Structure 1
């Protein structure tokens, strides 16, 4: 019989409400949290049964189309543990706690007023002094002004740069005489730049951002903010995190922890330093009474700040939260949460609140045993590793990849990527899905890794000397070799799908296309291979951009025949942003151009070749 258009919209809005991390899929923990919030907690096995009923892809999560099927089934049969009521209630919770506004197309969308206010406040805080945004900042936190402020793409470009510096070359942004076409270019630049830093932009289009669709704007904004906040919570950025090591642990153990886990450990460390017996296991239900926050703020606050422990005697939880935030305001760390967000244990906003507090006042001292002074060497994340990790996360893999080696050991993420390269190649009923029992966890992970290697070989990957145990053990060299081939295969698969004939595309084919395209437009630049040192000037890349979209690059901004590293870098930064602006989703960095890294250079030209096919 099918859902009505309104019921379909309800299902989509409910999905957005439940999708806590905004990655486009529901995990068992997110569905479990939904029912906890509705005071209808379900045992883990029932949640897994619910997922199994609709999980056609077999990846252990529920995507939007699967959720719609689940929703439709429940609407007609009233089964599956009351999910229809749960989804409906999730939507109502968002509408009660937030607002409902009409989109540009007249359709009502629910979105979180808490998140709208929180993200607006953060934008005001970090971009408030930007002269180019003066006409739209500060954003009124209690209205929908945020969704209007992002219309032309300028604010989002600057927000991306605030999270990961120099991701967007502002010379590539259209700032004057804007129209729907130049604004669309800006939003394309936003999306491809966001993807390059690890944001999942699946199902978000440039027009969605131009229209200010609330749930999509909030989802992307959160990802950008989250990446910026959590990027500083690492040993590379703060070596004094070594103070959080427990007895018997080494720095390698600390490197395995996600930023969220490090934050929780940091809070507990500060509780110990403060002499407070409380400890937390999460940043949701364990912080709702504001007691831990009060001790934390008092402990890390600079001397003379005037912070007190008064919130402990403030009355009910809501009053305590308000008083606690007054104390946080004394050290300029009130961002992200309001009293109700603390009391409700809002997952995103409390994570952001604590992350901002850590970034501002880490209050960690170097260990006296010298561990904090150790050169991290090859333990710190390399540029190549970060690029590969961002590539994976931009595809919406689950779980989110924080550590390129530790988070791949059970092969779940890598199998998802193979399935995106060649849809349907993974038989998910053959994959062991976590959580695993402790006794069999390693064995099941190795089985997954062996299956991964088998599939990769069948797809033509060169895996000489690489076995499942190498991936499971986190062998860096061999894992990088496999992941690089995945990035290459994904790039080529996209290219082949757009070529029309579906034939295999080789490196020489791409080089030939580059030179033929340049020649057809009377360009003088050429390349002999992806190792050609003239690529370091970025001229050939910018010329290809100009061939695909004539007039797009402003060559007045390009240094002719650059010889200095500085001039080459300026050209490379502009070239990367111009590629993204015309729709080429490249994960390469400017350094890959100036240093002429053949592998990543190949991906740049392959992405441009794909874009040219799209134009046709």
Structure 2
């Protein structure tokens, strides 16, 4: 794995590399086949003849497994960068081609001449999805419908209202509607909405690295589309699991268990689902991706015919069309019969746009899974993701780790995600030369345990409490011990965002507590982050008002809250206004009402990080000395 000191790419260049990689990494496992490497490199401006590509492959595919991960892709790019004038190459990265606009980078992280490709297909797809899903919302009546053939999407996302509403569609109740500014949308009030949207998107697992309110207010298309895609994707894939669809057990292969199915990503489950229906349709064909394998519309035609209610009149007539674009259009007309003509047009099907085709299939599954029932006598031990697990998973994904974390107890077992998190919490702490990023078939388990042992070693170095936690526990997916490690990573990150503060983790919580009580200025007081007086959120809201005068509408706060429902309403409001003022809060309202000490601490730490008086650690130093 490349040492972080060798990375010389700008943030925008790195973002383009990651986008090129992820567009081909359709199952989200963090690897692409070497047969697709040429395409990925060409996307970022490195076109190579076949013989040269073979030489590059032999250099970087050290174990001969036919795959390459993101870190190796970046290393490969940097290696080639040294051989040619990449400054010029990047200016010409995305050539004008049908269906693609090129836009100059204008963010602070951009270099002059950087361009980003904006697919018109994505603009159309997301505009139409927003029109469909928000058309009944009275707060959107003045801005919808969006003209999908223009740039209205980017202009009308500037108020933040559409983004906030879409987040609540994908993850209901994430944002308290009372915290959204809906009138008198000055620059300042728009900025508040956009800050609320970004921090709320992070809380549901979106990576918003290098995306700020100013970027969205400027309507920068590649950033708006990137954020919209993450929000929409989370909503589309959130219920593709056994807990919501027990009938997925019919996708199990011989010798597999329920646990094996729980480990699969939603993308992989969708591939199996399509193949399941192809088999039921008597077809021998199978797909392995949402790009090359679906371009001719045959698979979609059989799938639609198989899953559609018989009274809808969906048929196989598209197969009679020889022209692929006409066949795709005919196939989409069949999809329209069941209300599922979403995300793709004929061009996106024929071009094999993996992102939009994944969305198309996910929408089909969500509306017409057409899975066989489960025998009532069959006992299924299906464990739904806990609130704690979901919070940790969303936090990890918001950090931009690769590959995307779907199931904590499976996706951390090789240690690679853990190392990325360490590097985020304390840059430079990981000795990447000790990290094994590619595993040999014969020694994979041993190598992964070796990684996990090093991960525990790093935890001890950072004074984590890892008594009884060994590398094999993480590799084996021991739930209690894995959660213990992840919590301490999240805690370390939370403390690390206290900019300019130099303190050890043992004293940090005492310092945060002292800071909060000092800022409350005797208007309220609490003794610990487990203090039951915090359960109604009133103390928390008073602190927020101290940090942001006039930031609280007390008419919306029940200061005599007693019931759980009343306390939850206060907690939702508190979290909303905290995020709106810029605090990166991951905790949930239930954490406050139940006074979950660990998560409550993170809220106060995030607020402290936003307190301008804590800059350079002055306030923390004073608090610790008190």
TM-score normalised per structure 1: 0.89
Give the corresponding residue for 1:394. Answer: 398
* 1:22–1:219 CA contact under 8 A, matched in 2: no
Query: Which deviates further from its counterpart, 144-153 or 312-321?
Result: 312-321
Give the corresponding residue for 1:593. Answer: 592
* 1:18–1:26 CA contact under 8 A, matched in 2: no
Give the corresponding residue for 2:200. Answer: 193
Mapped to 2, the partners of 1:22 and 1:208 lie a distance apart of 26
| Match 1:472 to one of 470, 475, 479 | 475
| Match 1:507 to one of 501, 509, 515 | 509
- The RMSD of aligned alpha carbons is 3.0
Give the corresponding residue for 2:485. Answer: 482
Give the corresponding residue for 1:290. Answer: 297
Give the corresponding residue for 1:81. Answer: none
Mapped to 2, the partners of 1:67 and 1:248 lie a distance apart of 38
Give the corresponding residue for 2:82. Answer: 73
Q: Matches of residues 296-335 of structure 1 in structure 2 within 5 Å?
A: 296-335=303-342
Following superposition, the deviation at residue 181 of structure 1 comes to 1.1
Give the corresponding residue for 2:426. Answer: 422
Alpha-carbon distance change, 311 to 239 in structure 1, aligned in 2, over 3 angstroms? same
Following superposition, the deviation at residue 72 of structure 1 comes to 5.1
Mapped to 2, the partners of 1:486 and 1:442 lie a distance apart of 24
* 1:8–1:68 CA contact under 8 A, matched in 2: no
Secondary structure at the counterpart of residue 20 of structure 1:
helix
Query: Which deviates further from its counterpart, 503-512 or 236-245?
Result: 503-512
Alpha-carbon distance change, 157 to 446 in structure 1, aligned in 2, over 3 angstroms? same
* 2:199–2:583 CA contact under 8 A, matched in 1: yes
> Does the alignment pair 1:455 with 2:464?
no
Secondary structure at the counterpart of residue 29 of structure 1:
strand
Give the corresponding residue for 2:541. Answer: 542
* 2:415–2:451 CA contact under 8 A, matched in 1: yes
Mapped to 2, the partners of 1:188 and 1:149 lie a distance apart of 16
> Does the alignment pair 1:46 with 2:56?
yes
Alpha-carbon distance change, 144 to 47 in structure 1, aligned in 2, over 3 angstroms? farther
Alpha-carbon distance change, 310 to 440 in structure 1, aligned in 2, over 3 angstroms? same
| Match 2:414 to one of 405, 410, 415 | 410
Query: Which deviates further from its counterpart, 103-112 or 218-227?
Result: 103-112
Following superposition, the deviation at residue 511 of structure 1 comes to 1.3
Mapped to 1, the partners of 2:393 and 2:16 lie a distance apart of 29
* 2:101–2:119 CA contact under 8 A, matched in 1: yes
Secondary structure at the counterpart of residue 92 of structure 1:
coil
Residue by residue over 1:554-583, the C-alpha shift from the partner in whole angstroms, topping out at 9 and shown as x without a partner, is 111011120111100100111111111111
Give the corresponding residue for 2:500. Answer: 498
Gaps of 5+ in 1: 1-6, 53-57, 79-83
Mapped to 2, the partners of 1:366 and 1:323 lie a distance apart of 31
Residue by residue over 1:229-288, the C-alpha shift from the partner in whole angstroms, topping out at 9 and shown as x without a partner, is 000101111121112112222211110100001000100111111112111111111111
Following superposition, the deviation at residue 103 of structure 1 comes to 8.0
> Does the alignment pair 1:29 with 2:32?
yes
Alpha-carbon distance change, 485 to 272 in structure 1, aligned in 2, over 3 angstroms? same
Following superposition, the deviation at residue 32 of structure 1 comes to 6.4
Mapped to 1, the partners of 2:171 and 2:397 lie a distance apart of 15
| Match 2:100 to one of 94, 98, 101 | 98
Mapped to 2, the partners of 1:146 and 1:251 lie a distance apart of 42
Mapped to 2, the partners of 1:416 and 1:303 lie a distance apart of 50
Residue by residue over 1:280-313, the C-alpha shift from the partner in whole angstroms, topping out at 9 and shown as x without a partner, is 1111111111111000001000121011100111
Give the corresponding residue for 1:176. Answer: 183
Give the corresponding residue for 2:4. Answer: none
Alpha-carbon distance change, 472 to 13 in structure 1, aligned in 2, over 3 angstroms? closer
Give the corresponding residue for 1:4. Answer: none
TM-score normalised per structure 2: 0.87
* 2:401–2:420 CA contact under 8 A, matched in 1: yes
Q: How many residues align?
A: 586
Alpha-carbon distance change, 266 to 304 in structure 1, aligned in 2, over 3 angstroms? same
Mapped to 2, the partners of 1:194 and 1:67 lie a distance apart of 32
Give the corresponding residue for 1:60. Answer: 71
Following superposition, the deviation at residue 408 of structure 1 comes to 0.4
Give the corresponding residue for 2:134. Answer: 127
Following superposition, the deviation at residue 614 of structure 1 comes to 7.1
Residue by residue over 1:468-501, the C-alpha shift from the partner in whole angstroms, topping out at 9 and shown as x without a partner, is 0000000001000111111111101112x333x5
* 1:20–1:348 CA contact under 8 A, matched in 2: no
Query: Which deviates further from its counterpart, 34-43 or 331-340?
Result: 34-43
Residue by residue over 1:82-108, the C-alpha shift from the partner in whole angstroms, topping out at 9 and shown as x without a partner, is xx87x6776126x53222457889987
Mapped to 1, the partners of 2:394 and 2:442 lie a distance apart of 32
Mapped to 1, the partners of 2:578 and 2:57 lie a distance apart of 44
Secondary structure at the counterpart of residue 506 of structure 1:
helix
Mapped to 1, the partners of 2:516 and 2:227 lie a distance apart of 34
* 1:260–1:351 CA contact under 8 A, matched in 2: yes
Give the corresponding residue for 1:55. Answer: none
